[in-house]
Structure 1
Amino acid sequence: MTAETDDETEALRRLIARARVVLWDFDGPICRLFAGHSAEDVARDLVKWLDQRGLGGLLSEQERQARDPHDILRAVDSRHPGSDLIAELEERLTTEELRAASSAWPTEYADRLIRTWQAVGSRLAVTTNNSARTARSYLQGRGLLPCFAPHIYGRTRDLARLKPHPHSLNQALTAVGAAPGEALMIGDTPSDLHAASRAGTGFLGYARNASKAAVLRDAGATVVVGSLEPVLRVVESTGR
């Protein structure tokens, strides 16, 4: 779905109409965090750091080639869950994310949609696998932090609670006092979709290209937009 036909627009309208609370994934729907600071480079740096400490053997050859630094974290955590090593790796990733936040690219229409949704009375929260500190830093720089604060829920050192686990979504729902059926999550990965399903919320897929849209649809997403512009139009026209 690209929300271009009447039927697609109506499906989007129905999805939005049920939402009193909007749970945003961060990297993707709000911004491209690693647009100017490659996530693949960060993953390689984490592998190099492990190698320098004689810990490279914790990773399989396939894991060493990971493009997503979260994959490195998960791999090490599977062997040493909750360890000091995981705490240090997680902090190193957070440091890199904070650096990346200064050069992140805003997702087109995201700033306006966030402000509009808040203005019509919806409650907003961030539910992300990135560090909450990173999300706060970016949102502060865009003047968007008041639209969310204090409801920003990010990665903890208990990596088993990363999405697709619904932990961050459940935190947000509890904090704002909302039932799952009153909430809509906006995400760009199957893990976002699965977390929303497990939490019992609605799901709106955002995909900035056709290949990402296909991945979301294959995972079971029924409403996927390639731009936030049609979402903004619906919110502006319905006041929801």
Structure 2
Amino acid sequence: MTSETTQTDPVTAETEREPNALQDLITRARVVLWDFDGPICRLFAGHSAERVARDLVEWLESNGLHGLLSERERESLDPHVVLRAVDRRHPGSDLVAELEERLTKEELLAAKTAFPTAWADPLIRTWTARGVRLAITTNNSPRVSRAYLEDRNLLACFAPHIYGRTQELHHLKPHPRCITRALNAMGVAPASALMIGDSPSDLQAARSAGVSFLGYARNDRKDKLLRDAGAEVVVRSLESVLSVVRESG
């Protein structure tokens, strides 16, 4: 079952007042950089991210490392918070490598039950058909993005340009490294690129790299976070983006 038949995200009044800005972003883009978890799918829709975070914390504690995390970090229920915290204290260590591999395995399991974002699949295919090049720029493992895209028959739309988490965890977004890696590999200037993301860290990374940003917000909370962070164009459904891409073709 395709994502567009299983979700109906409403378009906000704000988006309706931004058609010219949205069209301008899309018209100028020769390359589109996609965050993975959010704009393309809900990675942990069927595989709890909170449980993954708890499992990572419990693994650390079982190895006598209870004091490695602060109380706030232990209770964050965000696996990336746990991973970043350990890396700050033991950068480049075998401990960090083991923790990152454990998270990657959980993400690979999550990819099997990830929920496609409404209208993402046809938008990806339409942009590709129009000759716009696409890349993934994510804090998730690139192995996870590849697995999901291959399952959806979308890998050819992105490969080989999939840039995700590496052992250099200090380069995770909001650091712009994954974006600059994509731009350099694709030989494109920042002014010709557009990033689609759903978090303030995506926005900050895009700004640092000099890349235009289009926010995707699946609910009011995400919308407010993006707008409070300074996002100028935010859509609540990728259907509006798909319509502009089709009209501009």
1:204-219 superposed matches below 5 A: 204-219=214-229
Q: In structure 2, give the amino acid aligned to 1:21.
A: V
Q: Indicate the residue corresponding to 1:146 in structure 2.
A: 156
**What is the CA-CA distance between 1:5 and the residue it aligns to?**
6.3
SS at match of 1:130: coil
Q: Indicate the residue corresponding to 1:132 in structure 2.
A: 142
The reply to whether residue 24 of structure 1 matches residue 34 of structure 2 is: yes
CA distance in 1, matches of 2:94, 2:161: 28
Task: State the TM-score, normalized to the length of structure 2.
Answer: 0.94
8 A contact 1:94–1:134 mirrored in 2 = yes
The reply to whether residue 235 of structure 1 matches residue 245 of structure 2 is: yes
The reply to whether residue 106 of structure 1 matches residue 129 of structure 2 is: no
**Cα RMSD over matched residues?**
1.1
CA deviations on 1:80-133 (whole Å, 9 max, x unpaired) are 111110000000000000000000000000000000000001000000000000
8 A contact 1:127–1:169 mirrored in 2 = yes
8 A contact 1:102–1:138 mirrored in 2 = yes
Q: Indicate the residue corresponding to 1:64 in structure 2.
A: 74
Report the more deviating stretch, 5-14 or 223-232. Answer: 5-14
Segments of 5+ residues of structure 1 without an aligned counterpart are none
8 A contact 1:3–1:230 mirrored in 2 = no
Q: In structure 2, give the amino acid aligned to 1:140.
A: E
SS at match of 1:229: helix
**What is the CA-CA distance between 1:66 and the residue it aligns to?**
1.1
Evaluate the alpha carbon distance shift between residue 164 and residue 234 of structure 1 in structure 2; reply closer, same or farther with a 3 A threshold. Answer: same
Q: Indicate the residue corresponding to 1:186 in structure 2.
A: 196
Q: Out of 71, 77, 88, which is 1:78 matched to?
A: 88
Q: In structure 2, give the amino acid aligned to 1:26.
A: F
The reply to whether residue 202 of structure 1 matches residue 206 of structure 2 is: no
CA distance in 1, matches of 2:203, 2:175: 10
SS at match of 2:18: helix
Q: Out of 169, 175, 179, which is 1:159 matched to?
A: 169
**What is the CA-CA distance between 1:7 and the residue it aligns to?**
3.9
8 A contact 2:44–2:110 mirrored in 1 = yes
Aligned identity (percent) is: 69
The reply to whether residue 40 of structure 1 matches residue 59 of structure 2 is: no
Query: Which 4+ residue blocks in structure 1 deviate beyond 2 angstroms?
Result: 1-7
Q: Out of 179, 186, 207, which is 1:176 matched to?
A: 186
SS at match of 1:103: coil
Q: Indicate the residue corresponding to 2:97 in structure 1.
A: 87
Q: In structure 2, give the amino acid aligned to 1:88.
A: E
Aligned length: 239
Segments of 5+ residues of structure 2 without an aligned counterpart are 1-10
CA distance in 1, matches of 2:175, 2:158: 22
CA deviations on 1:5-47 (whole Å, 9 max, x unpaired) are 6641111001111100000000000000000001011000000
**What is the CA-CA distance between 1:56 and the residue it aligns to?**
1.4
SS at match of 1:156: coil
CA distance in 1, matches of 2:217, 2:15: 17
SS at match of 1:140: helix
CA distance in 2, matches of 1:3, 1:70: 33
CA distance in 2, matches of 1:213, 1:234: 20
8 A contact 1:59–1:75 mirrored in 2 = yes
CA distance in 1, matches of 2:51, 2:167: 22
CA deviations on 1:36-74 (whole Å, 9 max, x unpaired) are 001011000000000100011100111100121000001
